[in-house]
């Protein structure tokens, strides 16, 4: 990836405000000092007379024309833009590399930019310093903001991919490898911290977090609280200042940096994209809501139409859509937990089509509700299953067959191998005959349904085990889906047979009706 560092020198900068001196004069002096620095910075690559400059058509320039143009700038808010291009792979020709990027930037801005650049080869990573005047050749102000940085990187990548494809591919693989190592290192660090908490008794490794959550905050109680929060009235104008004052000082920690509402909308959007692409570094829900609120606030401040629309929306009763579509499938709050999780996994892919922020927040809320619902009462169900199992064991131990009296004569006869073999065969035959149900009123479909539900319950218990790997959980989920499909087919067949019996009963009743 190409590293792009941008800055500018203006008379409005704090550094240009020197007591007793004109800010414009100070800004011009600072720009000339920067030109001198990049031309004469010490290093093995510096000739005795200093490094030479180049522009879009010429090379081996001494920089006099640049310094003259800087001094002649009059009503320019920005004296010069400082741009540093540090390519990931050293270009075959740095001047051609720089000219292509600046040509693309001029075309993007629709301006004839006036610039000069110098190469620096005195560090392990070679780079190019570009000085762009604050006015183009037509006297129009030049503005470069953070929205241009991704484009500059993309143009540099295209040049390297075309001129040095093999080296660029190796560099990209090395970058991906370092990213994977960084993520794996963070995972190991978190696991080490978790083991330390377990060692200190602050965490129980054998308890599932959903079970603990259900014990501390049961699903029914949590659901009532969520409904009450939705019914709470929004803060009015009187509390606007009260709400905003503490938020102005709030910050969030993400991607190794501190962020606040003071950051630009481009920076906040780049952070949002970074959190999407790096699931391992995602932040808490509360902090993510802050980030989205800052983005929306800056979008409204940039577009007056959105301010008017937001005012109209506040006057009208709020109506939220209870469903949305993604790649042809519909999702709502009644969708199964498995279906919502599958969509969430799709969205985590690096190049996946992303959802709007509002829809993604709804998805997370639906997932939490569905997850809590499926764990509701799990402890009571497990206790009942354990009670039933131990009850069956106790009944088997106290049954007459478990403590039957053995006649001494019978025991002596059983000691004979031939008689013992005959008696053992007779006992097996007797047991097999006992298994044969001579009644014709068994509901085999209901028995099959019970067996399927037992199988699903057992498979779900395996699925929630903490030691299960991702691949094993995926297979468990596929098995659970197959069992659900079989349960639905069983249910349909039972309905069909029930309807047939009702029809037969109606026919018999009509046949026995002698009043006609």
* pLDDT at site 248: 42
Burial class (CB in 10 A: 0-12, 13-18, 19+), 438: exposed
Whether residue 331 is found in the same domain as residue 385: yes
Contact 383, 377 (CB under 8 A): no
Instruction: Indicate which CATH number applies to the domain containing 79.
Output: 3.30.930.30
Work out the angle between the directed axes of helices 337-347 and 470-511 (0-180°, nearest 10): 150
* pLDDT at site 235: 46
Q: Which two tokens stand for residue 161?
A: 């991919």
User: 471 is in which domain, residue-wise?
Assistant: 451-508
Whether residue 35 is found in the same domain as residue 96: yes
Whether residue 462 is found in the same domain as residue 477: yes
Whether residue 149 is found in the same domain as residue 186: no
Is residue 245 situated within a structural domain? no
Q: How far apart are CA 66 and CA 23, in angstroms?
A: 20
Q: Which two tokens stand for residue 139?
A: 């006297």
Is residue 332 situated within a structural domain? yes
Whether residue 180 is found in the same domain as residue 107: no
Q: How far apart are CA 14 and CA 10, in angstroms?
A: 9
Contact 88, 168 (CB under 8 A): yes
Residue 199, helix vs strand vs coil: helix
Is residue 405 situated within a structural domain? no
Last residue of a domain, one of 329, 363, 397: 397
pTM (2 d.p.): 0.45
Whether residue 120 is found in the same domain as residue 32: yes
Whether residue 158 is found in the same domain as residue 12: yes
69-73, 102-106, 310-314: segment of lowest average pLDDT = 310-314
Per the structure, the count of domains in the chain is 4
User: What pLDDT, in 10s, does the model give residues 126-170?
Assistant: 889 999 999 888 888 899 888 888 888 889 888 888 888 888 888
* pLDDT at site 515: 42
Residue 109: partners with Cβ closer than 8 Å, 6 or more residues away? 142, 143
* pLDDT higher than threshold 80 for residue 375: no
Tell me how far CA of residue 160 lies from CA of 56, 57, 107, 267, 284, in angstroms.
Answer: 19, 21, 20, 26, 38
Whether residue 137 is found in the same domain as residue 88: yes
Number of Cβ within 10 Å of residue 357's Cβ equals: 15
Q: How far apart are CA 300 and CA 375, in angstroms?
A: 41
Is residue 368 situated within a structural domain? yes
Q: Which two tokens stand for residue 270?
A: 């780049």
Number of Cβ within 10 Å of residue 63's Cβ equals: 19
Is residue 81 situated within a structural domain? yes
Burial class (CB in 10 A: 0-12, 13-18, 19+), 118: buried
Stretch (H or E) spanning 81: strand 78-86
Residue 453: partners with Cβ closer than 8 Å, 6 or more residues away? 487
Is residue 305 situated within a structural domain? no
Whether residue 177 is found in the same domain as residue 154: no
User: What pLDDT, in 10s, does the model give residues 186-219?
Assistant: 889 988 888 887 777 666 665 566 766 776 778 8
Is residue 514 situated within a structural domain? no
Whether residue 65 is found in the same domain as residue 133: yes
Is residue 446 situated within a structural domain? no
Going by pLDDT thresholds of 50, 70 and 90, the confidence category of residue 106 is: very high
Burial class (CB in 10 A: 0-12, 13-18, 19+), 104: middle
Whether residue 159 is found in the same domain as residue 173: no
Residue 102, helix vs strand vs coil: helix
Whether residue 175 is found in the same domain as residue 122: no
């Amino acid at each position: 990836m190409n590293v792009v560092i941008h800055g500018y020198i203006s008379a409005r900068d704090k550094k240009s405000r020197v007591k007793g001196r004109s800010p414009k004069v100070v800004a011009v002096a600072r720009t000339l000092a920067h030109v001198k620095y990049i031309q004469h910075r010490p290093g093995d690559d510096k000739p005795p007379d200093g490094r030479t400059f180049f522009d879009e058509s010429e090379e081996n320039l001494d920089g006099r024309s640049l310094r003259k143009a800087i001094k002649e700038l009059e009503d320019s808010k920005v004296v010069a833009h400082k741009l540093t291009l540090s390519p990931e792979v050293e270009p075959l020709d740095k001047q051609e590399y720089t000219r292509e990027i600046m040509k693309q930037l001029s075309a993007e801005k629709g301006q004839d930019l006036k610039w000069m650049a110098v190469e620096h080869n005195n560090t392990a990573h070679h780079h190019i310093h570009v000085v762009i005047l604050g006015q183009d050749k037509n006297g129009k102000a030049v503005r470069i903001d953070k929205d241009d940085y991704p484009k500059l990187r993309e143009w540099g990548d295209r040049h390297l991919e075309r001129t040095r494809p093999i080296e660029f591919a190796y560099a990209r693989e090395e970058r991906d490898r370092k990213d994977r190592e960084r993520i794996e290192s963070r995972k190991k660090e978190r696991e080490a911290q978790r083991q330390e908490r377990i060692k200190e008794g602050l965490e129980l490794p054998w308890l599932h977090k959903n079970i603990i959550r259900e014990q501390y905050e049961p699903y029914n109680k949590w659901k009532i609280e969520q409904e009450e929060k939705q019914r709470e009235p929004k803060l009015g104008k009187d509390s606007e200042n009260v709400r905003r004052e503490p938020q102005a000082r709030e910050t969030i920690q993400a991607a190794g940096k501190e962020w606040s509402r003071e950051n630009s909308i481009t920076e906040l959007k780049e952070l949002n994209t970074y959190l999407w692409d790096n699931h391992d570094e995602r932040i808490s829900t509360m902090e993510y809501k802050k980030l989205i609120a800052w983005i929306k606030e800056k979008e409204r401040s940039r577009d007056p139409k959105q301010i008017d629309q937001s005012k109209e929306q506040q006057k009208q009763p709020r109506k939220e859509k209870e469903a949305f579509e993604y790649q042809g499938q519909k999702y709502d709050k009644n969708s199964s937990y498995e279906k919502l999780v599958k969509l969430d996994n799709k969205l985590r892919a690096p190049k996946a089509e992303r959802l709007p922020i509002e829809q993604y927040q709804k998805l997370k809320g639906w997932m939490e509700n569905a997850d809590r619902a499926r764990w509701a009462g799990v402890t009571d169900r497990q206790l009942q299953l354990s009670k039933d199992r131990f009850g069956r064991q106790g009944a088997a131990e106290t049954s007459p067959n478990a403590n039957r009296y053995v006649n001494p004569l019978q025991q002596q006869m059983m000691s004979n191998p031939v008689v013992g073999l005959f008696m053992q065969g007779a006992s097996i035959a007797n047991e097999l005959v006992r298994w044969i149900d001579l009644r014709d009123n068994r509901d085999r479909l209901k028995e099959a349904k019970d067996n399927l539900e037992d199988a699903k319950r057992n498979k779900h218990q395996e699925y929630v085990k903490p030691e299960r790997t991702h691949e094993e959980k995926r297979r468990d989920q596929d098995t659970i889906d197959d069992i659900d499909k079989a349960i639905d087919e069983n249910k349909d067949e039972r309905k069909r047979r029930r309807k047939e019996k009702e029809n037969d009963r109606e026919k018999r009743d009509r046949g026995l009706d002698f009043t006609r």
